[in-house]
């Protein structure tokens, strides 16, 4: 079992930056693929970014490419999402997720453990 605790969300203005953190307990994350998903009101949960455990390859949804950066610190058992140039359409609850596999996926159904979510609200 993996317990995940997200932090770093908040209310910001368009163009601002935020860094989300996801601290894990219960298992070492170094051999697992990790991801950030988000869910806006009335919309399905969508993948934002993934990072695998093999070569640290990353993958991003097109709408955040060049603005968001996913990273992991295996020594701290923590996942990060650095978000810059935030837009109102980035407003959502952001979730970190762990997949019990080395390679990542963009499908939320493929992830085994989830954090409780952290709200990010971007005002125009």
CA distances from 26 to 42, 75, 78 (A): 33, 14, 12
Average pLDDT, the chain: 96
What confidence score (pLDDT) does residue 99 get?
97
Q: Round to whole Å and give the CA distance between 3 and 33.
A: 15
What confidence score (pLDDT) does residue 1 get?
87
Greatest Cα pair distance, the chain, in angstroms, is: 40
What average pLDDT does the segment 56-81 reach? Answer: 97
- Tokens at 120, concatenated: 């990010």
First to last CA, the chain: 40
């Amino acid at each position: 079992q993996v317990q995940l605790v997200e932090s770093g969300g908040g209310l910001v203005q368009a163009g601002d930056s935020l860094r989300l953190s996801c601290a894990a307990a219960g298992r070492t994350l170094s051999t697992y693929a990790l991801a950030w998903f988000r869910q806006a009101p009335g919309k399905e949960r969508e993948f934002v970014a993934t990072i695998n455990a093999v070569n640290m390859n990353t993958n991003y949804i097109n709408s955040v490419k060049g603005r968001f950066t996913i990273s992991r610190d295996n020594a701290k058992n923590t996942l990060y999402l650095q978000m810059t140039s935030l837009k109102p359409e980035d407003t959502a609850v952001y979730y970190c997720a762990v997949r019990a596999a080395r390679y990542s996926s963009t499908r939320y159904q493929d992830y085994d453990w989830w954090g409780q979510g952290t709200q990010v609200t971007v005002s125009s």
